[in-house]
Amino acid sequence: MGLFDGLNISASGLTADRLWLNVIANNIANANTTRTPQGGPYRREEVVLNQVPMSSFSSALSNAMNNNSTSSLSGGGVVVGGIVQDPSPFKVVYDPTSPNAVNGYVQMPNVNIATEMVDMLTAQQAYQANVSAFNAGKSMDSLAITKL
């Protein structure tokens, strides 16, 4: 495992968490958008995160035994797999005065503010955990370099 692999893993988490928070903010901002350029109400978006696999311990051990310094544990962390739309149904509200009403009913976005707030708190805590891990790794790397 390289000296900066831990920092790279935490940095990948920070990047993913920032995008997650941006998507949540976009969902909240569009909670009342009944007409989008595609037509119809805004559809809630979700971030899909994928794990970046690490190479196995046995391959890292065999590389170390063969003094192959170019191959070590690599990968780890997280990568954004994509942003997908939530397939849950739209809310229907009776509002005959709305220009988007059909027979007096308006389709509203499938955004639930309470759900978005819980997701936001989760994303903030994940971001803080990655900041803490990054800072701890930075301190350990700095200490290891000064002790060499």
Tell me the per-residue pLDDT of 42-97, one tens digit each, with 9 for 90 and over. 999 999 999 887 766 666 666 666 665 444 445 678 999 999 999 999 999 999 99
19: domain range? 5-147
- Band (pLDDT 50/70/90 cuts) for residue 6 is confident
How much is the pTM?
Answer: 0.80
Total domains present in the chain: 1
Could you give the CA distance from residue 43 to residue 83 in angstroms, rounded to a whole number? 12
Give the model confidence (pLDDT) of 98-118 as tens digits. 888 999 999 999 999 999 999
Contact call for residues 23 and 43 (beta carbons, < 8 A): no
